[in-house]
Structure 1
Amino acid sequence: MNNEPIIIANGMIKPMTGEKEFVGSILVNEGKIAKILPCDFSEDETGRPENMPYSENTLKEVFGLSTDLNVKIISAQGKWVLPGYIDAHCHVGIGEEIFQYEGDDINEATDPLTPELRAIDGINPEDEGFRDARLGGVTAAFTCPGSANVIGGTGVVVKTAGRVVEEMILREPAGLKVAFGENPKVVYGEQKKMPMTRMGTAALLRQALVDAQNYREKLEQGKTDPDKLPERDLGLETIKLVLEKKIPLRAHAHRADDIMTAIRIAREFNVDLVLEHCTDGHKIADILQKYHYPAAIGPSFTNRAKVELKDRTFSTPGVLAKAGLKVAIMTDHSVTPIQYLPLCAAMAVRSGMDIEDALKAITIWPAEILGVADRIGSLAEGKDADIVIWDGEPLGFHSVPETVLINGTIVKPE
């Protein structure tokens, strides 16, 4: 962590908390946003601005800092200052780009039910994807197991900088990955074992949830009668967290019928749910509106690699946002490289999404969906200093992140 205070001076600040952007300066200290000060543009008697953006000589004074304190000042005049972007669903760190078998830890495709797996145990902080993310202005991500299994394991929210994963964790576990549709059918159908059908996938998931309900009941009984205590089961312990609404199901579902199966099971067991991919969501937006489950949408920067993607479109996040759903735009890295997250949001705008909603879909909304909005996703005093200075409008195709801070430490330029 950088112990030297940093002042980001005179930038166009977009907090992502509902208030309009404004010219101002940000004091970063001990990894947090210590103070945000708008510039004073009050008019004198001639009608001209009385105080232009603060000069470097007065910045310490206006922030109440000692004049002899060492402070790094970064000029952001004429530039945009936003919270770091958040990828709501990817496989960075557990599916390394350069390595094939050696770096592929996405799927434990040997058993359709593996709730005991934890993405945290497969993350390599030296994966080049993390560096690409930082340089692209993506400062946090939810990384999770893949979709080969009906239950794949738990995902984790991490910062995209750190020497070891323990330095990167924001929330762990942050959701239990489950999968519907083609992937479990293909993987286990080839092995001639269940599930070979969508019915089989749903049945296995339901039974696992029932088993966890029984496990929880036995644990309760064991509090008064030790003879009834069950043997410890790591997988059932994880599913129990879902039943207790401590973490949501993160349900891989592309096709409309698979989306509805995920919703049907979530309602049967009264658990929280995040719809992952939600490729056909635009087709049933009016129906999804009734349930209000959030959705992490993407990847859309791909070809139609399988039947489930035949109707994929960049218009989906905009349609669902207009329907009142909380949406996040995601890359599914390395399907779409993580540094192109802002381009995915820009393409959604091109396809009809409101630009403010598109920015929310890669900042505050994924932070809320992931349960970490108290720390990241917006620029507010007391939050983590994950800040990006853009040389142009934040979703402009030509805009580049000039300076990136994570936990108050400058990670770009390196």
Structure 2
Amino acid sequence: MKPVALALAFAASAPALALAEPIAIINAKIETVGPSGTLSSATLVMDNGKIVAVGSAVAIPKGAQIIDAKGAVVTPGLVAATTSLGISEIEQVASTRDDGAGGQIGAAFNPAAGVNPDAPTIGLARLNGLTRAFLTPVAGRSGNGAHAHDDSAFDTAGGHEQDDPTLFAGQSIGINLLANTPDLIFKTNAGMVLEFGESAAAAAGGSRGASLIILKRVLADVRHFAANRVLYDKGEGRDLMVSRLDLEALVPVVQGKSPLLIRVSSANDIRQVLKLAKEENLSIVLEGAEEGWRVASELAAAKVPVIIDTQAALPASFETLGTHLRNAQILFQAGVQVSIMGSRDYNNLRQSRMNAGTAVAHGLPYQAALAAITLNPAKIWGVDKEIGSIEAGKAADVVIWSGDPLEGQSYPTAIFIAGQSQPMTSRSTELAARYKPSTDGIARPAYRN
């Protein structure tokens, strides 16, 4: 049996629950995205949801299920660094969107209650190698079509009320993409999301200076609250700009215990953000950073990681006039930790790995591109000890590919999340089978009365 067919047969026959016996993938080209680098003709052993061994001379446990990859590429499961997967399905249909609080709540907003394990996009994303994702809310509901890039979170400030001073979109959470599992959340309160630049200026009344003043005031209020909770509970002390819920949510941010993801585009705005982070002692991550290449050395010196869309190469707004196809390569060469994002709603199914391939075509080293969609997103959100690379002790999130995973025509032939074999079906494949033209003269179920 061919390796692809064998892997498919195994994945189709495996139960949804974790197997009691170990699983060994043999004769594989393993891209570990870890200290072991690329391993040829190697073996990977999974057991109890974990990777227990990987290498060229690994003993296979007695009774293990064996998959002969016959040279196929094996990688860690892909990790979406920032997305609305599972909390937003159709951008222009408000009833399908749980990715923002609509301006009524800011930092306290947690999208966990809106995660839909039955969202069709989750199965589609999984079939393209995605095994984990970090959901990052957007500040309001735009609905005005004024997006810097399709499915992006930028220019969403229109959802704010005029008197709503908060620029915070809410909290990030991590989900796995396990099939037939009602609760996908594996990390809560992963970080905080903040809008900056044009969208923040709009929320603050039209000026970047105003948004910066508001932001500094909110951070000062949070520090005052953290040091004076007793006074606050008594109704004493100074007036604070945001609600207690927002204050509580922001305490870990001002204490440097929780990363602050900042959506920002222009080089000048990035400089302002770097200055703010230094003054306020914040741990920050940048999303967007279309002009990041212009300040690459400054980002590297500040040790600030970035999440970028490598297809964002057109000057769609004034803050992205300097966008560049070599953004990833220039940032990487300067020493910046780069993660690559795909479509926020993951309707463009191959986008994250195609974006990684685009970065390779414009100078980013291949191994760096793989890390940008696996290990680096895990590092950003503090879960790199658990996922993101193929190393003993980490969760067995593993994908076997039909070819180069950064090639658009390649696809997974088997997918494991926490050691559990995943179904190789989705809403799309089910619809395709339902409406497939008949060749035997028997009407398909969809056409029967």
Q: TM-score, normalised by structure 1?
A: 0.84
Deviations 1:98-151 (A, max 9, x none): 87111112232335x611101212222222221121000011111111143510
Partner SS state of residue 345, structure 2: coil
Quote the residue 1:141 is aligned against: 133
Deviations 1:173-232 (A, max 9, x none): 11100001222344x4xxxxx33211122122111111110011113x67xx99689999
Once the two structures are superposed, the pairs formed by residues 332-351 of structure 1 within 5 Å of their partners are 332-334=343-345, 337-351=348-362
- In 1: Cα distance, 2:123 partner to 2:316 partner: 27
- In 2: Cα distance, 1:141 partner to 1:128 partner: 15
Say if 2:299 and 2:305, in contact at 8 Å, map to a contact too. Answer: no
- In 2: Cα distance, 1:283 partner to 1:226 partner: 47
Q: 1:265 aligns with which of 242, 251, 276?
A: 276
| Match status 1:236 vs 2:247 | yes
Partner SS state of residue 205, structure 1: helix
Once the two structures are TM-superposed, the CA of residue 397 in structure 1 deviates from its matched residue by 3.5
Once the two structures are superposed, the pairs formed by residues 322-401 of structure 1 within 5 Å of their partners are 322-334=333-345, 337-401=348-412
- In 2: Cα distance, 1:98 partner to 1:321 partner: 32
| Match status 1:180 vs 2:196 | yes
Once the two structures are superposed, the pairs formed by residues 7-406 of structure 1 within 5 Å of their partners are 7-22=24-39, 23-39=41-57, 62-65=59-62, 69=63, 71-97=64-90, 100-111=93-104, 114-147=106-139, 148=156, 150-163=167-180, 166=183, 168-186=184-202, 188=203, 194-219=204-229, 233-298=244-309, 300=311, 304-334=315-345, 337-406=348-417
Once the two structures are TM-superposed, the CA of residue 335 in structure 1 deviates from its matched residue by 7.4
The root-mean-square deviation of aligned C-alpha atoms, in Å, is 2.5
Say if 2:178 and 2:417, in contact at 8 Å, map to a contact too. Answer: yes
Once the two structures are TM-superposed, the CA of residue 305 in structure 1 deviates from its matched residue by 4.2
- In 2: Cα distance, 1:288 partner to 1:244 partner: 21
Cα 1:371/1:155, change in 2 over 3 Å: same
What letter matches 1:358 in structure 2? A
Cα 1:276/1:98, change in 2 over 3 Å: closer
- In 1: Cα distance, 2:310 partner to 2:364 partner: 16
Q: Which moved more, 1:381-390 or 1:260-269?
A: 260-269
Partner SS state of residue 247, structure 1: coil
Structure 2 unaligned segments of length 5 or more: list them. 1-16, 140-155, 158-166, 426-449
Partner SS state of residue 290, structure 1: helix
Q: TM-score, normalised by structure 2?
A: 0.78
Partner SS state of residue 302, structure 2: coil
- In 2: Cα distance, 1:336 partner to 1:293 partner: 29
Cα 1:7/1:226, change in 2 over 3 Å: same
Cα 1:37/1:357, change in 2 over 3 Å: closer
Q: Which moved more, 1:140-149 or 1:302-311?
A: 302-311
Structure 1 unaligned segments of length 5 or more: list them. 41-61, 189-193
